[in-house]
């Protein structure tokens, strides 16, 4: 019940702060997915000041709360099911958790950490995580590990697949409205989470239905290019000239 009330309050904030935003969410669901790998939405002016918005705080608070749940559940399920794909998904959730925290930190105190430094930290983490996931997946294939069926893993990926494109769309629109480049970059992270959820769920469901042990490792390897591309994009640091 508390989650539903929390969601209702977020919707009201988005309606009040950005007229017409919530009315078009359903139309923007796919746009939240297709933005992965693209450049973050740029402000209308290269050095335009970031506008204060209560919606930004609510969006990032929801993201932090969900990422804590998603990361914890995914990594727990990965350990118990010996699933490389869930490891990849949970690892990306950890990076997105850090990304959301940075947006909130910069929103409250813009001089506390530069966007370039925060982006490079996130990029380095993604490179490390890509290496860990790739190593785990290859070892699983070579040693013929047999990932177990994980209904918990499938449940968390389905929820993420539904929720993250919506969050990505809301963040991208609010970023354009407030000239918040950090929030725009975080919207790409949310879209990435949805793609990884899709890949992970496909691998878990296939293994559960047909008991093909190597499919989970293949799903994890399919996630590697996404992690590397996102890491490279973050490392480049798409910041404005005045940051």
Model pLDDT, residue 25: 46
Q: What is the pLDDT of residues 75-101, one digit of tens each?
A: 999 999 999 989 889 988 988 888 788
DSSP 196: H
State the chain's maximal CA–CA distance in angstroms: 56
pLDDT in tens, the chain (243 residues): 444 444 455 445 455 544 554 455 455 555 555 555 444 444 444 445 556 678 888 998 999 999 999 999 999 999 999 999 898 899 889 888 887 887 788 777 767 777 677 677 777 877 887 888 888 889 888 988 889 999 999 999 999 999 999 999 999 999 898 887 778 778 878 888 898 899 999 999 999 999 898 999 999 898 889 888 878 887 876 544 333
- Transcribe 60-94 into DSSP letters: HHHHHHHHHHHHHHHHHHHHHHT-HHHHHHHHHHH
Model pLDDT, residue 35: 52
The phi and psi torsions of 224 (rounded to 5 degrees) equal -60, -50
The domain segmentation of the chain, as residue ranges, is 60-236
Q: What is the pLDDT of residues 98-136, one digit of tens each?
A: 878 877 887 777 677 776 776 777 778 778 878 888 888
Is 187 within 8 Å of 202 (Cβ atoms)?
Answer: no
Q: For residues 165 and 35, what is the distance between their CA atoms, to the nearest angstrom?
A: 10
Model pLDDT, residue 127: 87
Q: For residues 78 and 48, what is the distance between their CA atoms, to the nearest angstrom?
A: 43
Helices (H) and strands (E) in the chain, counts: 8, 0
């Amino acid at each position: 019940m508390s989650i539903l009330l929390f969601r209702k309050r977020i919707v009201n904030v988005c309606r009040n702060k950005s007229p017409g935003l919530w009315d078009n969410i359903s139309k923007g669901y796919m746009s939240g997915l297709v933005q992965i790998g693209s450049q973050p939405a740029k402000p209308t002016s290269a050095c335009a000041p970031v506008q204060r918005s209560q919606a930004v705080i609510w969006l990032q608070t929801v993201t932090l709360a969900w990422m804590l749940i998603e990361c914890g559940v995914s990594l727990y399920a990965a350990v118990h099911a010996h699933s490389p794909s869930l490891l990849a998904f949970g690892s990306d959730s950890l990076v997105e958790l850090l990304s959301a925290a940075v947006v909130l930190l910069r929103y409250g105190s813009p001089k506390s950490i530069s966007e370039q430094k925060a982006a490079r930290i996130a990029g380095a983490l993604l490179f490390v995580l890509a290496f860990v996931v790739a190593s785990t997946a290859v070892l699983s294939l070579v040693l013929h590990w047999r990932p177990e069926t994980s209904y918990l893993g499938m449940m968390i990926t389905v929820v993420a697949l539904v929720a993250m494109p919506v969050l990505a769309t809301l963040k991208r629109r609010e970023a354009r409205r407030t000239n918040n480049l950090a929030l725009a970059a975080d919207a790409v992270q949310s879209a990435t989470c949805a793609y990884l959820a899709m890949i992970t769920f496909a691998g878990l469901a296939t293994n559960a239905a047909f008991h093909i042990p190597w499919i989970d490792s293949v799903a994890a390897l399919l996630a590697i290019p996404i992690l590397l591309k996102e890491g490279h994009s973050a490392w480049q640091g798409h910041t404005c000239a005045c940051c």
